[in-house]
Structure 1
């Protein structure tokens, strides 16, 4: 797995190149935790992450530590398998806010 991070003012984009699973989760968490405190928006770009297991759910839905700044977190460019996993997670737990996490995903895909 390779990770690309781009910071533009108060926004950061972390692009994951490879799978998101138990073995890559610590590195992804560390990357997000290492962002400067001035970053208030975080976009996970998953266009090169074709597979995501339950570790991805932990990454995207865990509450950040109290030490870090509050950040608006969104996900973009989801491949079919990670999108399906997120939709299944929302079916099991309707309290998950997929529309907030996936603002550029058409609602019709989230409702399937």
Structure 2
């Protein structure tokens, strides 16, 4: 199974991760994002197929957000499972200046 499935529609790219995100898989996901056409201005990363994420996943998200901001590109994360959500919440408590809550789904009103 491929680590990351990519679909490009117009200026939007949708990447679906189908493995845990760790030190081994992070470079493959970064390579998939790096291979996107220059015309892409919106990137959505679905983590629905990633039931586990460690600090490599945090670094991946942080790097992709910085890269998107530097290229004037939108970046969103969807499909967070229980463990990645807990990790992001913990990271937000420990290092709020990193804006980890940006990756979490908005609370229900």
TM-score by length of 2: 0.85
CA distance in 1, matches of 2:58, 2:31: 16
* SS in structure 1 of the partner of residue 89 of structure 2: helix
Preserved contact between residue 89 and residue 101 of structure 2 (Cα < 8 Å): no
CA distance in 2, matches of 1:49, 1:101: 15
Structure number with the higher helix fraction is: 2
CA distance in 1, matches of 2:102, 2:26: 22
* SS in structure 2 of the partner of residue 39 of structure 1: coil
* Structure 1 gaps, min length 5: none
Per-residue deviation, 1:101: 3.0
Aligned partner of 1:88 among 82, 87, 90: 90
CA distance in 2, matches of 1:45, 1:21: 16
CA distance in 2, matches of 1:49, 1:89: 18
* Structure 2 gaps, min length 5: none
Aligned-residue CA RMSD in angstroms?
A: 2.1
Per-residue deviation, 1:98: 4.0
CA distance in 1, matches of 2:89, 2:101: 11
Preserved contact between residue 6 and residue 13 of structure 2 (Cα < 8 Å): yes
Per-residue deviation, 1:93: 1.2
Instruction: Name 2:106's counterpart in structure 1.
Output: 106
* SS in structure 2 of the partner of residue 107 of structure 1: coil
